[in-house]
Amino acid sequence: MNERPGAHRQPTHRAHAIGRGQGPTAWRAIAVLGAVAVCPFAVLGSALLIDLPSRLAIAWQAGTPSASVDVVPLTVTAAAVGTLAVAVVGAVLAAPNASFLGRRAALSVAAAIAGAAAGLWGLWVVTAVTAVDAVSPPPPDLELLVPLVSVLVTMRLVGLAYGAAAHDPSPRPPDPALPRADIPVGAAPRWRHDGVSGFFLAAVLALSLLGALSWRAAPVAGLTCWVMAGLTAVLVRIRLEIDERGLALSAWGRGPAMVLPWARIVEAHAVRIRPVQWGGWGFRVVPRRSSVGLRKGPGLVLTLTDGRRLGITLDEPVLPAGLVNSHLERVRGGGP
């Protein structure tokens, strides 16, 4: 689909500037990271009361330790890794020209590193303390689950502490060169589209079959395939609605919808979307953009007030783009 002139125009500098993380939110995020980084030291002090072994097993083979390290150097290393992550992200947050999304990405990476270090250290310490013979390996599932949970929890806490990007309190009307559509005077725009993905439908069938075939030999693998099939089924049919609330996305048109209010939308573009440029198929979030990619082809791209872009693949994106732009032009004083 051919794009109208100006469809690729980037958001104004103001839209980028307002997205910068400023003030106490950054310090709250650093405080959370710091707490994760120094946890090993705090636990080590308490461990003197529970007679922690002098060496901790960190790898096992055939049920016996194949590698171990002294508890004090291990604790110092774990804390140092977290502290280094805090120092690096502090330098990024202090950079005057860093964008909100750049700072948030740095926080996420640092949180993942600090969370992994604390999670692994905690797994090894708890295994040594709770094992009957002090050398028994942890359950296989915990070797991956504990660090993963630690990473996800740390990233979530840091994200909540840092907060969301500020929004432009007075966004401009959409670019006049972008699509427009007729909306009756005094009426809210109304439009609905159900997008179906054959790719994700095939993936659901394949995962379900694979789960059935592997259930007897490997129940965990079979259950995992069925869970993945259930999650993938959400993407088989996506409903997009435009109404007085703004733009709403929902799976199969049922259940709670993800609503993007009008106040967060700057303008809409009708362009060709390549999922590989937006992070892949399905729901994707990458720096400065998010997408709902069901296939390659024409799509609706919304520019948001925090400088991000949201892309959604559609068969005919010109009409919804026109409705969005015409409504925004009307409410912001640029049109009838």
The segment with the largest mean pLDDT, out of 96-105, 184-193, 290-299, is 184-193
Coil, strand or helix: which one is 191?
strand
Percent of the residues in the chain that have a pLDDT greater than 70, as a whole number: 73
104: left (phi over 0), alpha (psi -120 to 50) or beta: alpha
Residue holding tokens 């993942």? 112
Mean pLDDT lowest for which of 37-41, 175-179, 311-315? 37-41
Angle made by CA atoms 261, 178, 278, in degrees to the nearest 5:
65
Say what the pLDDT of residue 15 is: 35
User: What's the mean per-residue pLDDT of the chain?
Assistant: 77
Contact predicate 237/251, CB 8 Å: yes
Say what the pLDDT of residue 235 is: 85
Pairwise pLDDT comparison (241 vs 172), residue with the higher score: 241
Q: Within 10 A of 138 (CB to CB), how many other CB atoms are there?
A: 18
| Nearest residue to 314 via CA among 263, 260, 270 | 270
Residue 7 in this model has a pLDDT that exceeds 60 = no
Residue 264 in this model has a pLDDT that exceeds 50 = yes
- Give the residue-averaged pLDDT of 200-218: 90
Q: How confident is the model at residue 328 (pLDDT cuts 50, 70, 90)?
A: very high
To the nearest 10°, the Cα dihedral for 91, 97, 101, 103?
10
Span 115-166, pLDDT tens digits = 888 888 777 777 776 654 545 566 655 667 778 888 888 888 887 777 666 6
Return the domain boundaries, the chain.
20-162, 171-331
